[in-house]
Structure 1
């Protein structure tokens, strides 16, 4: 009898843990429409290219307590003749440099892009990128929205031309992330590193 009660309690606990694990992705904060996200006026594609450091990250699948220490990575935007960007992110993973390369194709509005060659990502139905704000020389805030299966994921990054940004820009990023429906638990700032990301 006692063994039966113990087994039942264990099964109940496993069920609760499993449902909590599923909740972390099933109860996503809804992604806003691109029309509700600011778009940098008069976006200048040539000035935006070059290396950016990811200083902050916020998103509906980001969890501050799960991410722990988030190591900074860099992203290089290389403008092509067709006005698309070859985008290379460089990050330190398992003590080696990882390179993630993709193409952002311009849409009908300057500063808004879609993922090129989306057929290479069979689970991704759509992927949009929008430059929400930038001064080109110091910071940029970029919004990303991905529809994968029936789920909509979104995130925004705070880019810096340098690895450190003033507190007021970080506060502006937090306000922007919260305007998208995110909470403090969905906003993290990176720990600078000298490994890989300057290559």
Structure 2
């Protein structure tokens, strides 16, 4: 009941009249961050380290069960100022790809923004929130970015290993649905060894 009411409320917030969109083309639909929970008493020193992307829910994924996304890894390297270097490693077209971003903490533990935002062309905002974690087994992380007035958001289910329990995967799907995504927006990447186990 409450879940349905939340989704209907979010849909109503997003349902801007066509006329208003024509008058104000710069208006964008953003998921209110207040609707995305934060891990209570977030401990950055316990969160740091290597994680595997075991599940991905994304507003751009259309047929999750048919997705051929391969598993990737992310290493969160904690710095003295409590920011993180976020190093991502993935296999794409048989080539290892690496990227690094620096996440700056906000006044809320577990909530981060992208450092040096202006150096990313077209990027208007980039937010990361640690939704839930027990630090040693799993984490759920929400990421929202706005690029050229388009909003992209993703929830990633991380594992310290490449396999998580069916119960955690089901919990992940249920959480994605609270953000008005469907099972078609969810995929569980294919485990690989190349690149991500280096």
User: Does the 8 Å CA contact 2:71/2:192 hold for their aligned counterparts?
Assistant: yes
Change (3 A) 1:110 1:45: same
TM-superposed CA distance for 1:93, in Å, is 1.3
TM-superposed CA distance for 1:148, in Å, is 1.3
Q: 1:12-47 CA distances to partner (integer Å, 9 max, x unpaired)?
A: xxxxxxxxxxxxxxxxxx542111101000000000
TM-superposed CA distance for 1:73, in Å, is 0.4
Give the equivalent residue in structure 1 for 2:103: 104
> TM-score, normalised to structure 1's length?
0.82
Q: How does 1:27-42 map to 2 (within 5 A)?
A: 31-42=30-41
SS at the partner of 1:92?
strand
User: Does the 8 Å CA contact 1:31/1:154 hold for their aligned counterparts?
Assistant: no
Distance 2:96 2:37 in 1: 33
Distance 2:39 2:115 in 1: 21
Q: 1:45-96 CA distances to partner (integer Å, 9 max, x unpaired)?
A: 0000000000000111122269621110000000001110001000011212
Distance 1:113 1:193 in 2: 29
List alignment gaps of at least 5 residues for structure 1: 1-29
> TM-score, normalised to structure 2's length?
0.83
Give the equivalent residue in structure 1 for 2:166: 167
SS at the partner of 2:46?
helix
Q: How does 1:107-186 map to 2 (within 5 A)?
A: 107-186=106-185
Distance 1:120 1:67 in 2: 35
Change (3 A) 1:171 1:66: closer
User: Does the 8 Å CA contact 2:89/2:195 hold for their aligned counterparts?
Assistant: yes
Give the equivalent residue in structure 2 for 1:54: 53
SS at the partner of 2:69?
coil
Distance 1:101 1:67 in 2: 28
Q: Which runs of 4+ in 1 moved over 3 A?
A: none
- Equivalenced residue count is 170
List alignment gaps of at least 5 residues for structure 2: 1-28
User: Does the 8 Å CA contact 2:64/2:186 hold for their aligned counterparts?
Assistant: no
State which structure, 1 or 2, has the greater radius of gyration over its C-alpha atoms: 1
Distance 1:68 1:54 in 2: 14
